[in-house]
Chains A and B, each alone.
Chain A
């Protein structure tokens, strides 16, 4: 297993365009998380899945954002009609909850720049 993979690593787009990020979690993990991180800040929670069910969404996740995990494996995060304020690092993480412990393993992130 090579850990959590994210694609693309970098994306530059013009305002108003749609973008999609993909995350491939660690195969035996049942939870998958999306976070957003801006420079100098800690990661901010966006949403998470347990298997294919989306269990929680942050208020940060406006209606322009949608995340899916159709078969309980990989996930996609789509941002429609991008705005300059969407520029950030989008981090994916996965975990396997074990006896109360929930260690998230993060990918390297997908950096979005909206011009």
Chain B
């Protein structure tokens, strides 16, 4: 079946660096994508979303890029802070449900 996956399971960065988290998806019919952040003991928290008719969307310190040709999604975090340390999931929606990838653990060192 369709799946959403991540290239890197872990990412360690220094405080102040930029972080890039990647995601590959396999359902070419997906038309909406979301990045979530999950801290230990908490539910996933919305970060940013993007529709399939867009290539890029920016939020506060975060940017999502979508490449439909290669079915690739990325999340860029500028000036990464220790509070950004968490597991990051990409997810795609089709027909009502949200399908999550495995996740990338981001660790930010002070």
| Sample of 18 A–B contacts (CB below 8 Å) | A33-B97, A40-B103, A41-B103, A42-B91, A42-B102, A43-B44, A43-B100, A45-B97, A50-B96, A91-B44, A93-B43, A100-B31, A101-B49, A102-B96, A103-B34, A104-B44, A106-B36, A106-B44
- The answer, yes or no, to whether B109 is at the interface (CB within 8 Å) is no
Tally A residues with Cβ within 8 Å of B: 26
Complex: A109 Cα to B97 Cα, angstroms: 18
A-B residue pair count with CB separations less than 8 angstroms: 62
Contacts of B43 in A (CB 8 A): 4, 91, 93, 106-109
Contact in complex: B95, A56 (CB < 8 Å)? yes
Known: A42-B89, A45-B97. A103 touches B46 (CB 8 A): yes
Separation in Å of the B53 CB from the closest CB of chain A? 10
Tally B residues with Cβ within 8 Å of A: 25
Separation in Å of the B102 CB from the closest CB of chain A? 5
> Known pairs A103-B49, A108-B41. 15 more at Cβ < 8 A?
A4-B43, A31-B96, A40-B103, A42-B89, A45-B97, A50-B96, A56-B95, A56-B97, A101-B49, A102-B93, A104-B34, A104-B44, A105-B46, A106-B36, A108-B42
